[in-house]
Amino acid sequence: MAHLPPLNALHAFDAAGRHLNFRAAADELGVTQGAVAQHVRRLEAHLGMPLFERLPKGLAFTAVGRSYHAQVAAAFGDLRDATNTVRPEPGKVLISVTPTFAAKWLIPNLPSLSEAHPEIDLRILATENVSSFHGDGIDLAVRQAKPPFGAALEAVRLFEQEIIAVAAPGLVAGDDLPLDPAVLTRLPKLHDAHGFWSDFEKMLNIRGHDGRDLRLNQTALAIDAALSGQGVALVPRFLVARDLEAGHLVQVMSETMVGAQDFYLLAERNPRRDPAVEAVRQWMCAQGTAK
């Protein structure tokens, strides 16, 4: 930290670089033009090189100054984004979900939330990592898990993990549904990180298969591959409910498999929960199908 320039000098340099004018930068920062010029001179002295050429009607970057300003401006942008993410704001709700849940369930259902609560600014943190309510500033989280949960958490089961086999209609055209297990063995299999196929084939008393395998690291990718006709995917029913209803996918086997972990909505226990957070929590619970 001792080698970093003073923050005020960087702030003045950022503003001066955006306006290429000390006076305009001073107006933005609410200080005098002389103060901005002095901060920039101190920064140049700290770095040992000029950042601007002083012109009669403003400023021009030196080559080093232009490159340095781009990096300083990006750093300030990152700081603003980080602050906006964690700073409490009326109507702002930050929810942490997996990328698959975000893409295949939450985002398609957001119009319903917007219609019910147009005043709420929902922000989505899509990550496979475990998020911290305090460290990451999140208000709600959806995760695959199973009880017990910590005493500080309020958990509501939204969806059971009912695993079904799905494919694009064109992949099984001409075959009777549900498929005969012998037919299934000849079809390409789409694998995600959960690795359900081994247990599913055991359940059907299938030993080995002839079709090729395509391995993907996320369920959302397996669903997309199934939609494009690349194979049969094993996925939670609720994630493909819309595609089944629209006829974009078909359930190719009548057998289903129960996963070890269901999908839970997690929130901190708080009798004074923010009204916007509670509204989103109640909306999520109403959309869930698990009882």
Residue 203 has pLDDT above 70, yes or no: yes
Residue 134 has pLDDT above 80, yes or no: no
**CATH fold of the domain at 92-160+261-287:** D-Maltodextrin-Binding Protein; domain 2 (3.40.190)
- Dist CA 125 CA 102 (whole Å): 9
pLDDT band at residue 87, thresholds of 50, 70 and 90?
Answer: low
Average pLDDT on 182-211 reads: 88
pLDDT band at residue 265, thresholds of 50, 70 and 90?
Answer: very high
Chain-centroid distance of CA 268 in Å reads: 20
DSSP notation for 105-135: IIHHHHHHHHHH-TT-EEEEEE-SSPP-TTT
Report the percent of the chain where pLDDT is more than 90: 71
Q: Domain extents for the chain?
A: 7-86, 92-160+261-287, 162-258
Tokens encoding 217? 């690291």
- Dist CA 276 CA 95 (whole Å): 12
Equal fold, 92-160+261-287 vs 162-258: yes
For residue 77, count other CB atoms closer than 10 A to its CB.
Answer: 11
- Dist CA 144 CA 157 (whole Å): 10
Tokens encoding 161? 């993990």
pLDDT in tens, 234-264: 999 999 999 999 999 999 999 999 988 899 9
Q: Which positions ≥6 away from 254 have C-beta within 8 Å? A: 178
Average pLDDT on 76-99 reads: 80
**CA-based radius of gyration for the chain:** 27
Query: Quick one: CA torsion of 60, 61, 62, 64, rounded to 10 degrees?
Result: 180
Check if the beta carbon of residue 105 is closer than 8 Å to that of residue 224: no
Tokens 């799905």 belong to residue:
166
- Dist CA 11 CA 49 (whole Å): 18
Alpha carbon distances (Å) from 15 to 10, 26, 291: 9, 8, 55
CATH 3.40.190.10 for domain 162-258: yes
We find that the CATH architecture of domain 7-86 is Orthogonal Bundle (1.10)
Residue 127 has pLDDT above 70, yes or no: yes
Tokens encoding 158? 């939204």
Tokens encoding 131? 């998020």
Ramachandran assignment for 199, one of left (phi > 0), alpha (psi -120 to 50 degrees), beta (any other): alpha
pLDDT in tens, 6-55: 899 999 999 999 999 999 888 888 889 999 999 999 999 999 999 999 99
Q: Which positions ≥6 away from 99 have C-beta within 8 Å? A: 126, 127, 128, 218, 220
pLDDT of residue 196: 93
Using omega within 30 degrees of 0 as the cis cutoff, is the peptide bond preceding 178 cis?
yes
